[in-house]
Structure 1
Amino acid sequence: MRARRRESIAALGMVSPAVFLLVMFIVIPVVLTFALAFTNARLISPTPARFTGLQNFRTLLDDPLFYKSLRNTFSFATVVVPLQGGLALVLALLVNAKVKGVNFFRTVYFLPVVTSMVVVSILWTLLYQKTGLVNEFISHLTLGQVQGPDWLTNPSTAMPAIIVMSVWQGVGFHMVIWLAGLQTIPQDLYEAADMDGATRWVRFRHVTWPGLKATRTFVLITITINAFALFTQVAVMTQGGPLDATSTVVYQAVRTGYSQQQTGYASAISLVFFVLVLAVSLVQRFLTREKD
């Protein structure tokens, strides 16, 4: 009995730091967000916050910037999720081959993932300038016939530019996830397919793709969450512009809460967005569930 009690105390001691951090940085902020969403709280104000009911949500429904930010967020996710997931799978299939020097390419593809997003955003901001490397490459490729735009100051090219950079930065992480899934598929299945004379496409369709079922569910969910959480790239590269063409819901919530100091309204934005992301996650979970 005493030994079991000592084991319980030791287990509580080991788990307590993680529980403390979880409560401090996840549970308490979520509870405060729910509470502040129904008040007129400001970040710095001499007057205490007071309960305003659904006023913040009524304001939100009449806010055109919120709808534009929402469209930008969903547009970003709609393009990034299949593009990044598909490209990562292609790279994983390439580096899964047992050839000399494959570890070098694995490292090169994964290198952007371990680089700070802020650093990557600053680097690509320089590349996207009017006289940047991207436009120089386009000019040389077309023999000077095409001059690229100033990508981040043009409303029609700013979001596509961020999408390209985001896919480049994150594709290496999901390549590793796909690669781990590929290496769990039994080689016996491939040998049996070879004996039956299956082509590469038939092997992929009937052996590789079914064997990646659990992996593709994880990849789909993680890419979707990261896409909806788009913030750093926008904050560093465009600050939501030009003409709010790259404003996202997360960026709007942060700008409203800190720059405009409307903490209550920012909490309402976060709460509504949380419900929307939860709904998307539940739909994804339903579509990727195990079927009997």
Structure 2
Amino acid sequence: MVSPAKTYSGTSSKTKSRFSLARQEELTGWLFIAPMLIGFMFFSFGPILASLILAFTDWNLLQAPKFVGFNNFASMLDDQYFKQCMSNTLYFVVTMVPIILTVSMGLAIILNKDIKGKAFFRSAFYFPSVISTVAISMVWLWVFSPSNNGLLNTLLGKLGMAGSVDWLGNMGTVKPAMVAMRTWQSAGYYMVIFLAGLQTIPQELYEVADIDGASRWRKLINITVPLLSPVTFFVTIMLMIAAFNIFEAIYIMTEGGPGGATNTIMYYIYHNGFRLYSMGYASALAWVLFLILVVLTAVQFKLRKDEAN
């Protein structure tokens, strides 16, 4: 017969062993994520916190920051360039979001069907999204080149529409040109997201609709679009954030021109911070952009919740 003391001792030993193993597994997990956490603290959270502090200072990178309170934020009310930047940025949001959303959803619906070469076309449309914006911008600089060697002007010449159009140097064409470039670059990425959503829709719904004699259009409106609404909501949020943060293509292709026509809020932040060396004002602009995105995202979530209810 085993004594109670021995039984208790054995149970205690097993408990300690399991506890020690759990601690080892926990420690191993923390060691795996430690590099990411350290990198986040130094390269993400740290700069974010620093920018919040700098937003209330006047700092030119050479002298010590000088606390100015809310002066940087108040200056935006009288800054005509800031108002122009916000107007340009809103143009890109209002145009890019619905255009890219529609194109990417349309591509996904078409390439979700059993068509010849489906895999090739999926890859072809997705490929631009994995290329760096720098490389894509250089290609589209050639496409929009004002000389007759530019691809777009050459094609127009072949169609009998002679004349060298300065697509990126004309205030009337530069914004649509940038929207076209961003659509070509981004539509394939969001197409993949929509494809994932389409493949979760039960095929039985379409079969029942076929039995009822529903047309393709009715199936699209009554089945596909409603059941894609969670994906559409996610893509809309992502597109809105991307449109507000458009910078690389502007920096490479237009530098905010012509006449400030493509001077977006992100480019204005860069211009103030790294060309005018007004880091305090640039930080304040960055936080205003952040707050705008937070508010718009919260509004969309609220509208989405009301729609679901």
Report the TM-score when normalising by structure 2.
Answer: 0.90
List aligned pairs for 1:133-148, cutoff 5 A: 133-141=151-159, 143-144=160-161, 146-148=162-164
Which of 188, 191, 201 matches 1:172? 188
Would the aligned equivalents of 1:37 and 1:267 in 2 still touch at CA under 8 Å?
yes
CA contact (8 A) 1:40 1:50 kept: yes
Match of 2:120 among 101, 104, 111: 104
SS in 2 for 1:153: coil
Q: C-alpha displacement at 1:214, in angstroms?
A: 1.6
Which of 233, 241, 245 does residue 225 from structure 1 map onto? 241
Question: What is the aligned counterpart of 2:198 among 182, 189, 205?
Answer: 182
Q: Return 276-285 or 32-41, whichever deviates more.
A: 276-285
The code of the aligned residue for 1:223 comes to L
What's the counterpart of residue 278 of structure 1?
A: 294
2:218 partner amino acid: V
1:4 CA drift (Å): 1.9
Q: Does 1:208 align with 2:224?
A: yes
Alignment match of 2:283 (pick from 267, 270, 274): 267
Separation of aligned partners in 2, 1:94 and 1:148: 36
State the 1:202 CA deviation: 1.2
CA drift of 1:35 comes to 0.1
Instruction: State the Cα deviation string for residues 67-94 of structure 1 (Å, max 9, x = none).
Output: 1001100110100000000010111111
**1:129, distance to aligned residue in structure 2 (A):** 1.4
Partner SS state of residue 284, structure 2 = helix
Q: Which runs of no fewer than 5 residues in structure 1 stay unpaired?
A: none
How well do the aligned residues superpose, as a CA RMSD in angstroms?
1.3
Q: Which residue is equivalent to 2:12?
A: none
Query: Where do 1:1-292 residues align within 5 Å?
Result: 1-43=19-61, 45=62, 47-131=63-147, 132-141=150-159, 143-144=160-161, 146-289=162-305, 291-292=308-309
Aligned residues: 288
Q: In 2, Cα distance between the equivalents of 1:102 and 1:180?
A: 15
Mapped contact 1:138–1:148 kept (Cα < 8 A): no
The structure number with the bigger radius of gyration is: 2
Partners of 1:216 and 1:3 in 2: CA distance? 45
Q: Which runs of 5+ in 2 are unaligned?
A: 1-18
Deviates more, 1:4-13 or 1:70-79: 4-13
CA distance in structure 1 between the partners assigned to 2:118 and 2:109 by the alignment: 11
Moved over 3 A (4+): none
Query: 1:122 corresponds to which letter in structure 2?
Result: M
